Every structure is written in structure tokens, then in C-alpha cells.
Amino acid sequence: MSGSFTERVVAAVGALGPLCAGIDPSAGLLDAWGLDDDPAGLSEMAMRCIDAYAGVVPVVKPQVAFFERFGSRGYAVLEQVVAAARDAGLLVIADAKRGDIGSTAEGYAAAWLDPASSLAADAVTVAPYLGLGALQPMVDTAATHGAGVVVVVSSSNAEGRLVQEARTADGRSVEDALLAEVAATNRIRHGCVGVVVGATRQAPAFPLAELGGVILAPGVGAQGAGAGEIGRLFRHCPPGTVLPNVSRSVLVHGPDVGAIRSAAAAVRDQMAAALS
């Protein structure tokens, strides 16, 4: 595929609008949709999401944990879901929050970012507790294949503050130090590193407009953030680089595909207005 992950996201957002829609077959949502909490139920819900989202939003985000609940059978469904979404023209961010060191980081790179893998996505989310440098094998693989590594920097939940607001040796917060490190990497690796910045958070000291990569912003809808927060935090970022993420507040409109599609389109248009 041609172009960096950032370039591909910018093009897709330019065509459809700014939104990443979740594919979250949790036990609770499966029950609400009248589906069984088993691999067949996972598949039915996820495929309905793809039908609803294709041509409406540019990016989808399957939550890997809900598939992993069913071990190898759940992963077989996830493989089909990732492939079907990409075949439908959707970019796929696998929400896996992986992260480890050395050869283990190479293993995660091979699993999620190498086109030869049955799980190959356009990007994967990672957690940076072991340091961004430890994730270098994932960044290298992403850069080679035009894929992305999306680093959780400022999570949408309150419990993350202890670690994320802690002060590094030079006085910056952990999140500001990581944002600067991501921006430095993007300058030499052509925008293959994105970040998660919760829409429920205050603006970091680091100027997000200078990140050089994609910003995924969860917390919209069920977690309480809306167009106001998205505009305030991200309006000055380069067009097409910001992906507000909605999941539950759209998925509660299922199982009807048309209802999900309408709900996603409405949020997409709100976000487009907030960012313009």
C-alpha cells in the first residue's frame, strides 16, 4: 500500500469525515443486541458493524479483548473481521494495547503490523509503560509497511492520572515527555506513530499540532466528552489527523444496521463541525 499511516488516515478522513467507530462485542452489548455471547455472536455483531460503517466512517477499531475472551475461536473471528473491514475500504486500528521489550516487541510487530500475518491491521494501539524505545521493533515494522503504532499517552479514564501526570527528571509530565518523543520519531519515520489522547482530558503542554501523526481521541459519547471538548483540544491540529472515537453510544443503536449507520453519521458530522 502507498503512503504512510498518517497520509492514509488524512486521505480517508478527507473523503468521509473525522471518526473512528468501535467494534466492541462485549458481553453486555451482545446481550442488548439479542445475540449469544459466543464466537457466532461476535461474528454477527462485528459484521453488522462493518456493514453499517463502510462508506460512512474512515476508520474502525475492533477491541481485541472481546475476541480474546474466546481464545483461538475468538481470534479466528477477529481475523475474518479485520479482513472484511479492510476489504470494505475501512482502515483498521486493532485496539490491543500491546507492549513489551526486545524479541517480544518483534513478536507483536509480526502479529499486528506485518502484512503476512492473519491479524495484520493498519495500526495497533500500544501502552508505553516499558518506554517508547522498547517499542522500536513495532515502529520499524510499521514504517516499513505504511502501518501505524498508536501510543496511549493520555487515557480517558481518571485512574490513569497517577502515572500519566507524574513528572520526569526534567520536570515535564510523562505525557508531555512521550508526546515530544513521538513527534521526534515522526520527523524521521514519516508519521508512523500516532497517540491516544482522551477527549476527557485537559490539553497537554506539548503543542498537539506539532505531533506529526494521528491523534485518536476516545471518551466521546458514553464517557461524557462531546463536540466542545474535541474542538477545544484538537481544532488547531492538521486537517484529517484527528480521529474522535465513539463506540458504545453508537453501538447501543444496534442491531439494526441502518440505525447504527445513522448514529455514526450524526456523530461524524458533529465532529467535522467541531474540528473545522
Binding site for a copy of itself (CB under 8 A): 24, 26-28, 63, 65-66, 68-73, 75-76, 78-79, 95, 97-108, 110-111, 117-119, 127-134, 152, 155-169, 174, 177-178
Nearer to a copy of itself, 2 or 103 (CB): 103
- Identity at 217, one-letter amino acid code: A
Nearer to a copy of itself, 70 or 270 (CB): 70
Instruction: Identify which of residues 4 and 164 has a Cβ nearer to a copy of itself in the complex.
Output: 164
Quote the cell numbers at residue 247: 463506540
Alpha carbon distance 134, 152 (integer Å): 14
Q: Which is nearer to a copy of itself, 238 or 253 (CB)?
A: 253
CB of 37 to a copy of itself, least distance (A): 10
- Rounded to the nearest whole angstrom, what is the least distance from the CB of residue 272 to a copy of itself in the complex? 27
Report the candidate in 246, 260, 250 with the shortest Cα–Cα distance to residue 48: 260
The active-site residue, picked from 97, 145, 189, 261, is: 97
Nearer to a copy of itself, 24 or 44 (CB): 24
Q: Name the minimum Å distance from CB 265 to a copy of itself.
A: 25
- 61 is a catalytic site residue: no
Q: Whole-angstrom distance between the N-terminal and C-terminal Cα of the chain?
A: 29
Least distance between a copy of itself and beta carbon 13 (Å): 25
Report d(CA 263, CA 189) in Å as an integer.
36
Residue 257 vs residues 44, 58, 128, 167, 209: alpha-carbon distances, Å? 11, 17, 36, 46, 35
| Cα–Cα nearest to 246, from 228, 262, 263 | 263
| CA-closest candidate to residue 274, choices 238, 228, 223 | 228
Task: Please report how close the Cβ of residue 125 comes to a copy of itself at its closest, in angstroms.
Answer: 9
Exposed/middle/buried for residue 238 (C-beta within 10 Å: 0-12, 13-18, 19+)? middle
Q: Kindly list the catalytic residues.
A: 97
